[in-house]
Amino acid sequence: MSREDASRLIDKMKATVSARWRDVVKECGGTEADLKAIERAFDYEGFEYD
C-alpha cells in the first residue's frame, strides 16, 4: 500500500470513528457520564502526529 493510500484509509477511519463513537456507546447502553469519561480517547489534540 502506498503512503497516499494509507493516508486516505486512515483519514476515512478517523472520520468514521469521530462520527460514530458516541452513537455506538449509547447503543451499547452507555450514559452521558460514560461519554464524558471516555471522550478524550476519541477526541483529543494531537491525534494525527506524523
* pLDDT mean by block of 10 residues, the chain; 50 residues: 92 89 96 94 69
C-alpha cell at 19: 462520527
The residue range of the domain holding 31 is: 3-41
Q: What is the CA radius of gyration of the chain?
A: 13
Is residue 49 in some structural domain? no
pLDDT attached to residue 50: 55
Q: Assess if residue 23 is contained within a domain.
A: yes
pTM given for the model: 0.71
How many domains does the structure of the chain reveal? 1
In a domain, residue 47? The reply is no
User: Which residue type sits at 23?
Assistant: D
Residue 37 belongs to some domain of the structure? yes
